[in-house]
Amino acid sequence: MLGFAFTSLAQADDARLRIGEIFRAAQPQQTTMLSLPAEMGDYLRGRLDAGNEKLTLDLVAADGTHIRRLADEAGGSVEFRIIIGRTGEKLKVTSKRPDAAFALTLLDQVTPKQQVAPQTRPVSPTLSKLVEEVEKGGSAETFWEQQREQDTPLIEKLDDKQSLVTFLQRGAKRNVRLFGAPSGDHELLERLGQSDIWFKSFVVPNDTRLSYQIAPDVPDLPGSERNRRVAILATAQADPLNPQRWPEGAPDVFNQDSILELPDAPEQPGIKEKGAAKGNLSSFSIASERLGNEREITIYTPPGFDAADPKNRLLFLFDARQYMTKVPTPTILDNLIAENLISPTVAVFVSEIDREARSRELPANADFADFMAKELLPEIKARTGLKLGPDRTILAGSSYGGLAAATIALRHPKSFGNALSLSGSFWWHPKNTPASEEEYVAGLVAGMQTVPVRFHLTAGLFETAHANAAGILETSRHLRDVLVARGYQVGYREYAGGHDYYVWRGALGDGLIALEQPPR
């Protein structure tokens, strides 16, 4: 890994990136092609600074053929990681406006010789027979022929409650990692002798549902532990041996996950298209004096929307792009409303500025909470004509968004009377918090007066503690218990899954249905 002072400025007519230099386009153009100073197998880490623009960044072949999407109409600052697969690959920056400004910097470059292979781990007992055959000089081809007929992962039912699931990869040279493992970590697959078989086995509940990626030949980088951990993003992609993938229509396999759904996985309400009438979508921008920024807001209104209907509900969802794509919320609402499982619901999708702003605004940020209650909520009511009390208003989100839903409702219960938290990041706490007070939200609830807010919390059974950090599963259970002890009405559900939008798209529907029940 190389270190640089980022003070140089490349000229736009150079059209070639250099490690440590900041490239800025000097002439207005909608498409910029940038050559890369790299050879096949090199690991590159870079950053696109788009500011207020919406830019798309792609890795393309020498002839311009698309290889991988690295940023999709992104604003703010976006980091990317890639492995060069062919000579002459380039970066392509595309903007909607001809005069868009941006900066692009290559931060790190690690050659194949600098990438260190990990130690081989012991093989799993479940494949011991195959290990013996391979070690005796047998071929693994028969095994692969069987897998082509069965697809992967390999699933072996143990009993009525559990199955053994084995993830497989063929032909990696140095290592394979599993991104989205049931353990909640980036698991290393094991190699069977010197064969081309890489595998990792897990015992999981029979109602497991998850999405995952396979990352072959991840570079083991020098430098910090975080640098080595995030290098998985350079090669993580859909499992080539598993035809079940999500989302459909992804631009490439790097932006697509593979799916594992065991037979007892619960139904995800509202997901399947059933010919229901469609709601309407409209968007506007709102500038916040409190936050000093501007963001896009999208409003979903249900079919036949009547602002005067007393049954109406108002739902706010964080991470707008994800909850309009990976989680098809408009379709879910169309179907749940048509089936009379929920009341007519207006949904407000709140976009984040960029990753840094999201990490600053969503975790228990008083200014962002005040923006939601005092700026956005009145604007939505004015635009829709809704006149709802807090008991008909829901805040919802996942991860940091779930944390925000809970803390904003606690701060503004006269505005938001319901909080739907999907795998909320309740491990979070402000910097320099004493170890005894690290579960910040649980401590907040225990130390404040009970307010009229209903909660529905969910967590994944695979979201457990690791690397000396508290897990979402444990902290969600603890928060549930504290809320109940303080007299709150709390719904709670666990799923055999991880930190995963493929799980949350079902948990969202479950939570909305649960909150439809009248308060006890």
Q: What is the pLDDT of residue 65?
A: 94
Q: How many CB atoms lie within 10 A of CB 513?
A: 17
pLDDT of residue 117: 53
Q: Which of 211, 207, 213 is nearest to 187 (CA)?
A: 213
Instruction: Give the pLDDT score at 8.
Output: 37
| pLDDT for the residue 123 | 46
- Which pLDDT does position 149 carry in this prediction? 77
Residues 6+ apart with CB under 8 A from 71: 48, 50, 55, 56, 57, 78, 80
Q: Read off the pLDDT of residues 331-384 as tens digits, 9 standing for 90 and up.
A: 999 999 999 999 999 999 999 999 999 999 999 999 999 999 999 999 999 999
Q: How far apart are CA 393 and CA 402, in angstroms?
A: 15
Question: Which pLDDT score, from 0 to 100, does residue 11 have?
Answer: 38
Q: Kindly report, residue by residue over 33-43, the tens digit of the pLDDT.
A: 999 989 899 99
Q: In percent, how much of the chain has pLDDT > 90?
A: 68
Counted residue by residue, the chain has a size of 520
pLDDT on residue 184: 78
CA R_g for the chain? 24
Q: What is the pLDDT of residue 27?
A: 61
E strands, 61-102, where? Answer: 66-83, 90-95
Q: Which residues of the chain have pLDDT under 50?
A: 1-14, 118-123, 126
What is the rounded distance in angstroms from the CA atom of residue 510 to the CA atom of residue 421?
12
102 contacts 49 by C-beta, under 8 angstroms: yes
The pLDDT value given to residue 122: 39
Helix axes 472-485, 440-447, angle to 10 degrees: 0
Contacts of residue 212, defined as CB under 8 A and 6 or more positions apart, other chains included, come to: 167, 178, 179, 180, 181, 239, 257, 258, 260
Give residue for tokens 């549902």.
Answer: 209
Residue 80 dihedral angles phi and psi, to the nearest 5°: -140, 155
User: In which element (H, E) is residue 288 found?
Assistant: strand 280-288
423: nearest Cα among 451, 373, 370, 461: 461
